[in-house]
Amino acid sequence: MDVLARYEPLVDDPAAFRAACERPLPQAVRVNTLKTTVERARRALDEAGVDYDPVAWNDTLLRVPDAKPGNTWPYVHGWLYGQEEVSAVPALVCDPDPGDRVFDPCAAPGSKTTHLAALMEDEGLLVANDSNLGRISALRSNAERCGLTNVAVTKSDARNFSLKPFGGESFDRALVDVPCSCEGTIRKNPDALDEWTMDHVEGVAGVQRGILGRAIECTRPGGTVVYSTCTFAPEENEAVLDFALSEYDVDVVDYELPLEHAPGVTGWDGEEYDPAVERAKRIYPHLNDTGGFFCAKLEVAT
């Protein structure tokens, strides 16, 4: 099955979309502001002879087209985190304050966890959960390398996450970056669609609904829940939001995104979704020369 062809009706320029998906993804790193400044990180890369290009929409991101950032001393010392450019969007949309209680239910290997901690200035409580022990090992290693001290790492199925170990107190914010069919990672992983099936999309969508629902339940009234994926599939994106809107007292709210994007789709394959899902953002590879991504911001009713 030509998986990408099913999404051509959703994009403004199908030919550009297909061409972008076939090009390798530019490498990028995020400066870890808990350990250094953007200026110092750039000087360190200059001294290491690593070429980079600033990313216009966020100064903590740098593209490194001709290097492997993991081989540089700034990376080893936790000054840099290798992170796909659009992967930085959810933490910025979550926008935690220092001192907040934040829930990251699908945290490993830690790109968004470490980003959240930096935005929180390493203050408050950041619960980084995952269900996979091997991935948790990577999460803990990355948290240590980046100098995080406000992170509590837990292992559980996020659909059944318990607040009891944390005093039963709800979170101020949650960043729900769920497991998905990973269609948007095709530029980084050219074989990402080799095992694609509709059964998998439908199955993982059920998991996504459970994780998002539990995150909403764990977030206080007036709190923020960010939902994100790296897939184009409306079954995993807008349909999951539509479920949350029907089952919980939440709303999808608009937010500023300094990247070219498309709105959420309100209908797909004969299904109609709540009009509020249009406030979500779809980022296609050809729009900003990035990976594909989906991000929505929800607010829990007071």
Distance CA 177, CA 160 (A): 16
| Residue tagged 């408050």 (tokens) | 124
As to burial, measured by CB atoms within 10 angstroms (0-12 exposed, 13-18 middle, 19+ buried), residue 282 is buried
Distance CA 72, CA 49 (A): 10
Distance CA 253, CA 292 (A): 21
Tell me the two tokens of residue 95: 């926008």
Distance CA 284, CA 273 (A): 21
Taking residue 140's Cβ as centre, other Cβ atoms within 10 Å add up to 17
Give CA separation, 201 vs 4, 69, 207, in Å: 14, 33, 10
Catalytic positions, written as ranges: 230
Give strand pairing partners of 281: 263, 295
| Residue tagged 């959810």 (tokens) | 90
